[in-house]
C-alpha cells in the first residue's frame, strides 16, 4: 500500500510540473497524506542523522537556508523544503523526493503548523527564533500560539535539543520548561534602542504577567529584558552576537561568541534581523557538530533566499526584494534602508490573500514615517494598493508624488520607465505579492521559479 501511495503522489507532482501548474511543492504531499496519513511519521524516522526543525514568525526560510549551506560545506547530505512549502503537505513532498543518501532533515515549519508536525517529525533539534503578531485572521492573538507551543514543548522528550532566542521574552520562558536547551542572543549594541516600539507585542512576563522593562530593544519586543514583578529575566545565551557591524544593504559582520571562543562571521545579507538569523544558524550548526570553519564559510558564501534580500537585475535596474509581511518585519526593513546614504526608490506591494492574512490593518502599525524624507520615489502596488496609499497619505507623504499601480506588470513597467539604468529600487512586498512579482520577472527571463531554489 505504501509503495502505491508513493507512486501516485510522485506522479501527481510530475504532472503538475509538466502542465505548468506549479512546481509540485505541495500537491504530492497532499495526496500522499490523504492516501496514507502516517507516511510522514514513517519517512521522518528513516532520517538516520535526525531532523532539524526551524520555526519563527520572521526569518525561518533564511535560517534554514543558512543551516543547509553550512551542512553542505561540511559534506553532510540532507533533505530540505527549500521552496518554502512549510505546511504538512510541503514537508511530505520534500521527504517524498529524498534521495536514499540524504540522512539529515532540515525543515522550516509554519508556526501554526508546528505543534502538529513536531510529534510526527520527532526532531533531534528544534529551533525557535521569534514570535510576532502576524495574520490575525489565521493565527489568532499571539498568546494563542504561545500556549500551543508551551503544550508542545512540555511533551518533548529530553533528547530533543531546543535552540531558543533568549531575547524573545515569551520564547525564553518556553525554553525554561525544557531541560535540554541552548539560548542565543545579541549583546548590547549601538543598533539597539531603549525605547519600546508602539507596535511591540510581548511586553508582559509569561510567568507572572508582570510588566517587562528593557535595557535594550533590537526588533519589536526582542532585546535585554527583565520582569519588574518577579525574578524572570533574559537568560545568559550560550551563543552571543557581539561587535555588530551593519554594512548598509551590502551585508553584516559580527562576532559569534560561544564556549569554543569567538568567531568572526560575515554574511551578504543586510540588517540586524539577519544577524539574528545567522546567530541561530551558528548555534544550530554547532549543536550538531559542524566545525566553526565550515559554519563561517557556509554563511559567508550564502545567497539570499527568494524574496528575502534577493537581488534581481531587471532591464539594467537592480531590484532588491525584501519580504515585509507584518509590522515587526516591515519596520526592521525600513530601519535597514535608513543605513543607506542615498535617496531611495521604494516600491511597496500589499496583498490580502490567505497566505498574507485578510486583515491589512497591520500597515497602521508600520512606522512608514521614518522613511518618507529619504525617498526619491514611491510606487505602491498590490491588491490593496489604495489602502496603502491612504496610509502613506496620513504619514505626510504627498499624494501627488505617489505612483499607484495595482498590478505587478504595471509596477515593472513604471520602474523601467522612471528609474535610470544602473540605479537600484527597493521592493517591500507581502508574501503573495512577492510571488506575483517574481512570477512576472520569471516570464521575462530575469529570474527562476521559486520552487527551483537550491
| Tens digits of pLDDT across the chain (454 residues) | 677 777 777 777 666 665 665 666 888 999 999 999 898 999 999 999 999 999 999 999 999 999 999 999 999 999 999 888 999 999 999 999 999 999 999 999 999 999 999 999 999 999 999 999 876 555 557 889 999 999 999 999 999 999 999 999 999 999 999 999 999 999 999 999 998 887 788 889 999 999 999 999 999 999 999 999 999 999 999 999 999 999 999 999 999 999 999 999 999 999 999 999 999 999 999 999 999 999 999 999 998 888 999 999 999 999 999 999 999 999 999 999 999 889 999 999 999 999 999 999 999 999 999 999 999 999 999 999 999 999 999 999 999 999 999 999 999 999 999 999 999 999 999 999 999 999 999 999 999 887 566 5
Contact at 8 Å (CB) between 418 and 305? Answer: no
Distance separating alpha carbons of residues 387 and 409, to the nearest angstrom: 19
Residue-range domains of the chain with CATH: 51-69+113-300 (3.40.1190.10), 308-452 (3.90.190.20)
Can you tell me whether residue 378 is helix, strand or coil? strand
> Pairing state of beta strands 239-246 and 261-267?
unpaired
**Grid cell digits, residue 19:** 502542465
| Burial bucket for residue 253 (CB in 10 Å: 0-12, 13-18, 19+) | middle
Q: Is there a contact between 216 and 192 (Cβ–Cβ < 8 Å)?
A: yes
Amino acid 137: pLDDT: 53
Cα dihedral angle (409, 414, 416, 418), rounded to 10 degrees? -170
In 3D, which of 138, 48, 46, 40 has the Cα closest to residue 91? Answer: 40
pTM: 0.94
Question: Is the distance from CB of 206 to CB of 229 less than 8 angstroms?
Answer: no
- Given a contact cutoff of 8 angstroms between Cβ atoms, the answer to whether 166 and 184 are in contact is yes
Long-range Cβ contact pairs of 266-269 (< 8 A, separation 24 or more): 266/299, 266/300, 267/66, 267/299, 267/300, 267/302, 268/300, 268/302, 268/303, 268/304, 269/62, 269/302, 269/304, 269/308, 269/309
Q: How many CB atoms lie within 10 A of CB 393?
A: 12
Q: What was the pLDDT predicted at 135?
A: 63
List the Cα angle 329/335/339 in 5-degree steps: 140
Amino acid at each position: 500500500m505504501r509503495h502505491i501511495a508513493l507512486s501516485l503522489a510522485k506522479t501527481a507532482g510530475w504532472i503538475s510540473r509538466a502542465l505548468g501548474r506549479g512546481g509540485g511543492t505541495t500537491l504530492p504531499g497532499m495526496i500522499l497524506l490523504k492516501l496514507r496519513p502516517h507516511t510522514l511519521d514513517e519517512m521522518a524516522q528513516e532520517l538516520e542523522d535526525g531532523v532539524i526543525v526551524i520555526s519563527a514568525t520572521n526569518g525561518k526560510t533564511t535560517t534554514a537556508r543558512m543551516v543547509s549551506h553550512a551542512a553542505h560545506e561540511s559534506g553532510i547530505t540532507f533533505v530540505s523544503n527549500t521552496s518554502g512549502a512549510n505546511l504538512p503537505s510541503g514537508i511530505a513532498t520534500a521527504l517524498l523526493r529524498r534521495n536514499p543518501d540524504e540522512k539529515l532533515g532540515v525543515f522550516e515549519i509554519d508556526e501554526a503548523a508546528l505543534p502538529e508536525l513536531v510529534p510526527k517529525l520527532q526532531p533531534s533539534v528544534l529551533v525557535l527564533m521569534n514570535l510576532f503578531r502576524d495574520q490575525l485572521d489565521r493565527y489568532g492573538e499571539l498568546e494563542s500560539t504561545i500556549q500551543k507551543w508551551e503544550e508542545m514543548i512540555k511533551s518533548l522528550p529530553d533528547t530533543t535539543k531546543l535552540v531558543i532566542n533568549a531575547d524573545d521574552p515569551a520564547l525564553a520562558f518556553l525554553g525554561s520548561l525544557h531541560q535540554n536547551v541552548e539560548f542565543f542572543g545579541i549583546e548590547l549594541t549601538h543598533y539597539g534602542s531603549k525605547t519600546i516600539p508602539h507596535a511591540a507585542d510581548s511586553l508582559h512576563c509569561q510567568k507572572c504577567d508582570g510588566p517587562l522593562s528593557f535595557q535594550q530593544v533590537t526588533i519589536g519586543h526582542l532585546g535585554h529584558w527583565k520582569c519588574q514583578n518577579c525574578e524572570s529575566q533574559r537568560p545568559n545565551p550560550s551563543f552571543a552576537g557581539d561587535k555588530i557591524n551593519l554594512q548598509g544593504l551590502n551585508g553584516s559582520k559580527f562576532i559569534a561568541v560561544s564556549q569554543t571562543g569567538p568567531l568572526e562571521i560575515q554574511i551578504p545579507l543586510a540588517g540586524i534581523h539577519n544577524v539574528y538569523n545567522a546567530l541561530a544558524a551558528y548555534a544550530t550548526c554547532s549543536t550538531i557538530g559542524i566545525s566553526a570553519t565550515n559554519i563561517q564559510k557556509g554563511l559567508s558564501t550564502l545567497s539570499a533566499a527568494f524574496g528575502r534580500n534577493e537581488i534581481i537585475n531587471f532591464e539594467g535596474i537592480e531590484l532588491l526584494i525584501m519580504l515585509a509581511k507584518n509590522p515587526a518585519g516591515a519596520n526592521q526593513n525600513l530601519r535597514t534602508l535608513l543605513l543607506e546614504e542615498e535617496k531611495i526608490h521604494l516600491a511597496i506591494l500589499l496583498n490580502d490573500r490567505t497566505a498574507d492574512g485578510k486583515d491589512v490593518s497591520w500597515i497602521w502599525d508600520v512606522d512608514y514615517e521614518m522613511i518618507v524624507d529619504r525617498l526619491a520615489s514611491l510606487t505602491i502596488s498590490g491588491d490593496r494598493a489604495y489602502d496603502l496609499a491612504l496610509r502613506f497619505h496620513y504619514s505626510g507623504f504627498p499624494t501627488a508624488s505617489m505612483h499607484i499601480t495595482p498590478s505587478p506588470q504595471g509596477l515593472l513597467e513604471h520602474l523601467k520607465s522612471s528609474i535610470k539604468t544602473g540605479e537600484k529600487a527597493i521592493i517591500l512586498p507581502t508574501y503573495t505579492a512577492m510571488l506575483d512579482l517574481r512570477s512576472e520577472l520569471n516570464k521575462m527571463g530575469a529570474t527562476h521559479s521559486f520552487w527551483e531554489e537550491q
